[in-house]
Amino acid sequence: MANNHTSFDDLAVFLAVLQAGGFRDAARQIGASPSTVSETVSRLEARLAVRLLSRTTRSVAPTEAGRLLAARIAPLFAETNAAVEAAMSAAGDVRGTLRLNVPGAVMFDILPPIAERFLARYPDVRMEITVDDRFVDVLAAECDAGIRYGEALAQDMIAVPIGPRLQRSGTAASPRYLDARGRPGQPGDLFGHDCIRTRFQSGAMTTWEFARGEEELVLDPEARLVVGTGAPLAAVHAACAGLGIVYAFANWLEPHLAAGELEPVLPDWWPTFDGPRLYFSSRRFMPAPLRAFVDLVADMRSDAPKPP
């Protein structure tokens, strides 16, 4: 009779190869030799009687069967790791890894002070942060939680505010540029100016939104210069250099406004919007590091001064 028992360790090695993108990197991560890793995957394929990986001299990719297997077992391994971390933390010591998927916008001055306090409080925890401006399924991305602005979340997701309750966006340019080109008096005047735009990884441009009283406008001015959202402050620095008018988070502009490098443009039209949210699955067992992080975020918000 054939032995249909599949080793948990063999499945773990298979996942490690997929996540690392190759046998050598996977071997380095799990502390085994590349030949041992290759033999383990071959043994798993023989047991299942199906090829799981397509191998070339330069790359490794999952077959359809391999992709389906990985999609089913990856969440189970994540749950197992979370349970182990919780058991290790049962005595009160939070330990393990917290994996976050965040947009570049929160890496400027929102997440760093929270991370500093979190890591100081929990010395046995490490953080892994993936910066991605696309809205992602945090479970599929193998992260514990994500941070995003305003996107609609799936029903099984829990979202809690993180960072400032409210933020503002605004336009600004260098005094030198405005002296040469004139100062816009209303949003429509921006169409006659050099505008510095930012583009998401998806290819879409960020919108320029304005609000004054009950009036709200969304503009799509032609871009003289386009900067990817992966380097958000590059657009602000371009404006400081006199290359045009930039639209950005007000907190990014404030240091340059205070230094006289930038001058506010249409400040009466700067809109206010809700701050970011931390989101995570309600279906998944919550790892101890994530629970500790959520609690810290709540504590920091309760300590923060209330808006006027």
Q: Which pLDDT score is estimated for 197? A: 96
Q: Which pLDDT score is estimated for 87? A: 64
Structure tokens at 59: 């790359």
Q: Which pLDDT score is estimated for 284? A: 64
* Whole-Å CA distances, 182 to 40, 45, 187, 192: 69, 69, 13, 10
- The verdict on pTM exceeding 0.85 is no
Q: What is the largest CA-CA distance in the chain?
A: 86
Based on the number of CB atoms within 10 Å of its own CB, is 92 exposed (0-12), middle (13-18) or buried (19 or more)? exposed
Q: Which pLDDT score is estimated for 20? A: 83
Pairing outcome for strands 245-249 and 208-212: unpaired
CB 170 within 8 A of CB 248: yes
Q: Give residue 85's identity as a one-letter amino acid code.
A: E
Ordered domains of the chain (ranges, CATH): 8-82 (1.10.10.10), 98-160+276-303 (3.40.190.10), 166-274 (3.40.190.290)
| Under-70 pLDDT residues of the chain | 1-6, 57-58, 82-92, 139-140, 151-155, 283-284, 302-308
